[in-house]
Copies of this chain bind each other. A is one copy, B any other.
Amino acid sequence: MRSFEVKNRTSADDIKSLRLVTAIKTPYLPDGRFDLEAYDALVNRQIENGADGVIVGGTTGEGQLMSWDEHIMLIGHTVNCFGGSIKVIGNTGSNSTREAIHASEQGFAVGMHAALHINPYYGKTSIEGMISHFNCVLSMGPTIIYNVPPRTGQDIPPRVIQTVAQNANLAGVKECVGNDRVVQYTREGIVVWSGNDDQCHDARWNHGATGVISVTSNLVPGLMRELMFEGKNSSLNAKLLPLMDWLFSEPNPIGLNTALAQLGVVRPVFRLPYVPLPKAKREEFVNLVKQIGREHFVGVKDVQVLEDDDFILVSRY
């Protein structure tokens, strides 16, 4: 069903060269709807600081908490406003093949440049089932496959990737298993993005990864750009590791959501089941900002420690 209009003609090769892709945060209004103004500002910061692409509605962007119409709308919005400046990769994956097909058709129809696909988490399936699942969506357009066993409960083994890599639409793999797996794929000519911020420097400079699909770059896009583009830089990497550790002290995007609220760039609104980090961790963040330098973080307001009462948790939206 894909349109042939020129705006839809991104190729897998265009995607393969992306080095810094940000899994962009979705900010909310107090009633839980999307805060598009805040979102636009976040995307603009990514563009200004040199990110090549954004993942829309990834796990970081809380695609798992969106209805599909919200999700596709956000992809369409991002393409419309920013598609000329940055690659827009829609997380149209699902543990339901039907949903993955439908969402991917719609995402490509509204102009996303590539799809991110996960293996069927929670419900899981066999190796043959995984391959069938990915083959149902690969024909639609450029595709990145995402492997994150701590979330899905099931590793995508290399033979699945090797099989589906026969389809020219496979742009590559977002791999969270570690740098041994990164090496294995890159030796086989399969493009890899590290899915672990704390490993991405080594993945890129020592193990052949093309780049990173990053959470941390929501906060410090310029530094992550430097880390991915300017050559080995162990001292910068070391400087960022405490921030990365902090970010992942609870399941992502809990840390990121807390951080962006304290930086004053998003309203302190959480869609449940996410809740803010506790106060002690919120105080730690302010110290991390000071250590790294406020000027490297997005936003211009002073970073502050929010109180419990400052946060709005929404369950119906």
- A37 on interface, CB distance cutoff 8 Å: yes
In the complex, are the beta carbons of B273 and A3 less than 8 A apart?
no
Give the chain B neighbours of A316 by CB distance below 8 A: 98, 101-102
Per the bound structure, the CA–CA distance linking A102 and B316 in Å amounts to 8
Cβ contacts A68-82/B at 8 Å (1 or 0 each)? 111011101101111
In the complex, are the beta carbons of A106 and B73 less than 8 A apart?
yes
In the complex, are the beta carbons of B126 and A151 less than 8 A apart?
no
Within 8 Å by CB of A122, from B40, B64, B111, B254, lies B64
Per the bound structure, the CA–CA distance linking A96 and B132 in Å amounts to 26
The listed residue with most B CB atoms (<10 A of its CB), out of A35, A65, A74, A77, is A77
Give the chain B neighbours of A79 by CB distance below 8 A: 76, 80
Given A77-B3, A80-B76, A123-B273, A315 and B101 contact (CB-CB distance below 8 Å): yes
A126-165 interface with B by 8 A CB criterion: 126, 128-130, 132-133, 136, 149-154
- A8 on interface, CB distance cutoff 8 Å: yes
In the complex, are the beta carbons of A272 and B7 less than 8 A apart?
no
Give the chain B neighbours of A106 by CB distance below 8 A: 69-70, 73
A228-277 interface with B by 8 A CB criterion: 250-251, 254, 271-275, 277
In the complex, are the beta carbons of B126 and A251 less than 8 A apart?
yes
- A110 on interface, CB distance cutoff 8 Å: yes
Given A97-B271, A98-B271, A271-B97, A123 and B251 contact (CB-CB distance below 8 Å): yes
Return A32 CB to nearest CB of chain B, in Å. 8
In the complex, are the beta carbons of B3 and A133 less than 8 A apart?
no
Per the bound structure, the CA–CA distance linking A277 and B277 in Å amounts to 44
Q: Taking CB as reference atom, which chain B residue is nearest A4?
A: B37
Given A80-B110, A122-B59, A122-B152, A129 and B69 contact (CB-CB distance below 8 Å): no
Within 8 Å by CB of A129, from B37, B59, B111, B275, lies B275
Give the chain B neighbours of A183 by CB distance below 8 A: none
In the complex, are the beta carbons of B76 and A72 less than 8 A apart?
yes
Give the chain B neighbours of A7 by CB distance below 8 A: 80-81
In the complex, are the beta carbons of B40 and A77 less than 8 A apart?
no
Binding site for B on A (CB under 8 A): 1-8, 29, 32-37, 39-40, 59, 62, 64-65, 68-70, 72-74, 76-77, 79-83, 95-98, 101-102, 105-106, 109-111, 120-126, 128-130, 132-133, 136, 149-154, 250-251, 254, 271-275, 277-278, 313, 315-317
Offer 12 A-B interface pairs, CB within 8 angstroms, sorted by A. A1-B35, A4-B40, A65-B96, A72-B73, A73-B76, A73-B106, A76-B110, A80-B80, A96-B273, A121-B122, A121-B153, A132-B313
12 other contacts beyond A7-B81, A64-B96, A126-B250, with CB at 8 A cut-off?
A8-B80, A59-B122, A65-B123, A73-B110, A76-B76, A77-B111, A81-B111, A95-B273, A128-B278, A129-B254, A149-B153, A150-B153
